[in-house]
Homo-oligomer: A and B are copies of this chain.
Amino acid sequence: MLRFECDYTEGCIPEILEAISRENHTQLQGYSEDTVTNRARARVKALCGREDVDVHFLVGGTQANTTVIAAALRHHQGVIAAAQGHIACHETGAIEAAGHKVIALPSQTGRLTAAQIEAVCAAHWSDPSFEHQTQPAMVYLSHPAENGTIYSLSELEAIRAVCDKWHLYLFLDGARLGYALASPKNDVSLQDLARLTDVFYLGGTKVGALFGEAVVIANPEIARDFRYHIKQRGGMLAKGWLLGLQFDVLLEDGRYFQISQQAVDRAMEIRAALEALGIPFWSDSWTNQLFPILPNEALTALEREYVFNHTEKMDDTHTAVRICTSWATTEAQTQALIADLRRVLG
């Protein structure tokens, strides 16, 4: 079986394993206060074009989301997210367990718009009994969104303006950020994110690392005491250097961007093949996740050799599936899949 159902079926790029082996017997200070991690922090700052951000490395996405949101919000405040947002539906209520409501907004596109956020805030603050409702205090975006689509620079700027108007923090979940940056449709840079958000993260788990997310905090209100929150939420690794080292390797010589580009290029090859076959898509994704709507018979045939993720039953005879490439997807795997797609769907 060849797995295309997600982008975390393999381990990591070989350079990371080499680096771990190299450092394995070095005695390093615990809890991310070591020299390797500091070097990785410096790389992140340089790429963001800002020396004044705080950089922390956490193990995974749910942990990063919970820690950032809990560090930022007071008890009566909530976070606005798309209804499909990871924090709204795939983290077992982690944000609520930390005491905060996720204010989930329906979205056709899987992304939030500045207008939606404006409407929620305007409604809240004009309601005479606003104190009987959760106060909106943060906006959570996934970029790429769960359906593979990405925000444009102008969309992000509009959202930032609304956040400024209503005193909302802007938090961008970049678990797959590399694949957004590598998209042919992308016009957003890391520096833009460091300028427009209060906090965002650069995902490693799905982009070449064994695990790890690099959290970049531009707003000092959120940065203050952040390490307490990491510890409290179970994210302070004794051997924190394992996190820093992985980002040190990923961000050296542009590796992170190269492997992301390669994964997106392969997805685009698959996308072109599907388009040529007249297959429609569930979302307009130009990143490493594609969501073709396949006839059930063809899907059954393909699933003898491939693993996909079933996203949604479209009707009695069609199903939207997720096909993911990753940094680990080879050209041979890509061509094999394309050939089989043509054979079955042609």
Contact = CB atoms under 8 A, between A and B. Distances in A.
A3 B17 contact: no
A10 B26 contact: yes
Nearest to A22: B11
Contact of A234 (B75, B100, B235, B237): B235
A6 interface: yes
A232 B11 contact: no
A114 to B, nearest CB: 22
A92 interface: yes
Interface string A1-42: 111001011111010010011011111111100000000000
Interface stretch (A60-68, A253-261, A273-281): A60-68
A229 interface: yes
Nearest to A307: B27
Given A76-B225, A229-B76, A242-B210, A236 B60 contact: yes
A239 interface: yes
Contacts of A24: 10-12, 14, 17
A29 B6 CA distance: 9
Contacts of A262: none
Given A75-B97, A96-B99, A96-B101, A236 B62 contact: yes
A342 interface: no
A206 interface: yes
B11 A234 contact: no
Interface string A47-82: 000000000000111110011001100111010000
Nearest to A70: B75
A225 to B, nearest CB: 6
Interface in A209-266: 210-211, 225, 227-239, 242
Nearest to A11: B24
Contacts of A10: 24-28
Interface stretch (A126-134, A148-156, A183-191): A126-134
Contact of A90 (B102, B132, B242): B132
Given A25-B328, A99-B99, A237 B225 contact: no
Interface in A102-134: 102, 104, 129, 131-134
Given A3-B27, A96-B96, A211-B238, 4 more contacts: A6-B238, A67-B234, A91-B132, A131-B231
Top-9 shortest CB links A-B: A63-B234, A11-B24, A76-B228, A93-B134, A92-B232, A93-B101, A8-B238, A9-B27, A92-B231
Interface of A: 1-3, 6, 8-12, 14, 17, 20-21, 23-31, 59-63, 66-67, 70-71, 74-76, 78, 89-102, 104, 129, 131-135, 205-206, 210-211, 225, 227-239, 242, 328
